[in-house]
Structure 1
Amino acid sequence: MNSKNNFDIVRLILASVVMLVHTAEVTRNADIRFLAHILNSDFAVKGFFAISGFLIAKSYLRSNSIKSYFVKRAQRILPAYIFVIVMCLIIGVCLTSLPLKEFVTNKETIKYVIANFSFMNFIQPSLPGVFTDNPNQPMDGSLWTIKAEITLYVLLPFIVPLLVKKPFKTYAAIFAISCLWFFYFTSVYTGPKADTLAKQFIALSSYFFFGSLLATNQAIFDKLKEITIVSLVAFVIFKNTSFSYLIEPVAFSSVVILFCTGLCREIKISQFGDLSYGMYLYHWPIIQVLTHFGVFDRNAYLGLMLTIILTVTLAFTSWNLLESRFLKRSHGHIPKATSHEA
């Protein structure tokens, strides 16, 4: 891979897409509903996983040991993740309709702390008496992907050697399991949380490990343009059919990584820091707070502008005062953002 790349700007764009779509979906405001129609947060999230699979595989291959690999992953993921959970608790204390003592000792609050610090956000996404008048109640609905990301990080040291030795057979097996999982929970199983189960790490593994496949096999990476063209043509043909989910892992992943690695001239934004992870984590609670205070009801576009400004500001502050400092401890310097995909 060329040292000049656009991972930073592509991830920032994908994070921005998720933020804008969530602003429309979380507020359910008719004036900005169009954002959810013209932008695709599902593509953005899957693109994130493809990029992550590519960069984390590169990081693993550069690591001196398994311990070093996992330490780097923890230092990248945990500081901002822990901070956003604490931030949500502080928001809860300030905005809950319950008396403070009752809020702190409430079973739902305790459950929230345990579930979210153990990455099981779906068990208790909301806090008692908080955002009860908002269209949506979760404190941070974006956190569901973090547990999937961490699970794939754990699996990667076992999968990468197989991708190096038998790339096509290994990825074919991952692809088949991933697609079968998605098919079962979208077309066969109709029980509780079917939609949630369909989006778990098994379904996302075909995106993540396609990125890893490109990162670990230069011969396959060299054919990325051809793979992208063929898969996109197939996606267009089958887009409105029940077979589109079979094309998406390769089509979405290849087009995103192609944009990152060589389709355009490098657009340097590393001087501002790696803001994409912070933007992804922080935008949802900011939207909820603004909704709570009626900002979107008074003026949806003002709410949208404040969401963007506050999210970028918090992400910038988080990178410079929190995230980069933890990375600096192991590297002796603040590493380039592209080396540590969240």
Structure 2
Amino acid sequence: MDSRSNNFDCVRLLAALAVIYGHAFPLALLGSPTLLGNSIQAFAVKIFFSISGFLICKSWVSSAGLGNYIAKRALRIFPALIVLVLVTVLIVGPVLTSLSFSEYYSNLTVLYYLKNIMLYPVYNLVDLFSYNSYKGAVNGSLWSLPVEFFMYILIALLAIKRKRAVDASPSSVLFIATAIMVSLSLRLVHHTTPEIHPVVYGTDLISALDVAPYFLIGALYSYYSLERFFDMGVALFLVGFAVLFQPTSSVMQEAFLYVVAPYVILSFATTKTIYLHRVGRYGDFSYGIYLYGFLIQQVVNAVTKNSISPLQNALVSMPLAVLCACLSWHFIEKPALKYKTNLNFIFIRGKQHG
């Protein structure tokens, strides 16, 4: 989908900046501003997942096969992530640690932190940020990446592709799976949360359940071609309704959000709005901002010795995150994405000769 004819880049950029703003509060040990029962940063991540589900499902349906699809997703996720982890371990860690170089590099947590490259979330790195208000988390944003990548794989299993354009309607498997995921999320995240959260591959499954339905709902709109029902007038009405008539219980708030948020987000994202559709003309910086934001915020708090307010932290961190994201896009992400063309040639040719 051509980003110049829609607002996707704008929405993703605003969501990435909202994550930084929201994180500034817990990093100062303060409660985050909330929206419909969600912290600002949690709501922003749900925006990402709604958009991702919509676009990734389109990518899967139009892909040359599973190998081609997974390789493309890997090209988008891993190059920037690998550089981020190496920058954290090889530059940020040695500069800000109170240990000597030999003590730092001989610590097992340095090696263990590299597991983030394999989408295994590891938050602690030696004594880094041990004097910050929020200790023990070098980059808390990385928790969502394994969830995101798992959803990529899940979509390939659920969004069953038709062999011919004249085939019957799309499979109902995706719809059923979404209903089940929504039910599990409402039950285990918003009704009765388990005292001990199950963890798989370093990932809190309750946190994963909180965002996964939005990915699948976004995918539903794409898979069943429901975008023809997107309308900004209806979206604005839903926003006004949400402001005036917010449910009181956590379960009802989230159920209401399932209905309203993806529709409003995707209606606006698929629209071409004057000026806003040009936000991405210099590059898609949202992923880089998301990757570097939390780390930069912790660095800012370390340098200022926790002496600034959450708003000040956000205002200082945002331009620094944008700068890092700009460098990441132009020197890492964009060059890596050029290999997508080669992948299409390889897999399509392989299919023809198979």
Above 0.5 in TM-score? yes
Where is the helix percentage greater, Structure 1 or Structure 2? 1
Deviations 1:1-37 (A, max 9, x none): 89721101111111111111112321347xxx7x735
User: Who is 1:184 aligned against?
Assistant: 188
How far the C-alpha of 1:303 sits from its partner, in A, is 4.1
Which amino acid in 1 is paired with 2:227? F
Matched, 1:97 2:98: yes
* Cα distance between partner residues in 2 of 1:189 and 1:36: 22
Closer/same/farther in 2, CA of residues 23 and 99 from structure 1, 3 Å limit: same
Query: Partner of 1:274: helix, strand, or coil?
Result: coil
Unpaired runs of 5+ in structure 1? 333-342
After TM superposition, the score normalised by the length of structure 2 is 0.81
1:315 to 325, 332, 350: 325
Identity of aligned residues (%): 26
* Cα distance between partner residues in 2 of 1:203 and 1:223: 26
CA contact (8 A) 2:52 2:215 kept: yes
Runs of 4 or more consecutive aligned structure 1 residues displaced over 6 Å after TM superposition: none
CA contact (8 A) 1:235 1:244 kept: no
Q: In the TM superposition, what are the counterparts of 1:1-342 in structure 2 within 5 Å?
A: 4-28=5-29, 36=33, 40-90=40-90, 91-114=92-115, 116-121=116-121, 124-137=122-135, 138-161=137-160, 165-167=170-172, 170-193=174-197, 196-200=204-208, 202-218=209-225, 220-225=226-231, 228=235, 233=241, 237=245, 239-241=247-249, 242-262=251-271, 264-265=273-274, 267-294=277-304, 297=307, 303-331=313-341
How far the C-alpha of 1:128 sits from its partner, in A, is 1.4
After TM superposition, the score normalised by the length of structure 1 is 0.83
CA contact (8 A) 2:174 2:220 kept: no
Name whichever of 174-183 and 304-313 sits farther off: 174-183
Deviations 1:187-224 (A, max 9, x none): 43442347943211x44332112111111222x22223
* Cα distance between partner residues in 1 of 2:180 and 2:308: 49
Deviations 1:34-65 (A, max 9, x none): x7358722221101001001111111222222
Which amino acid in 2 is paired with 1:174? T
Which amino acid in 2 is paired with 1:247? F
User: Who is 1:340 aligned against?
Assistant: none
Query: Partner of 2:329: helix, strand, or coil?
Result: helix
Closer/same/farther in 2, CA of residues 193 and 96 from structure 1, 3 Å limit: farther
* Cα distance between partner residues in 1 of 2:190 and 2:299: 33
CA contact (8 A) 1:279 1:315 kept: yes
Closer/same/farther in 2, CA of residues 12 and 229 from structure 1, 3 Å limit: closer
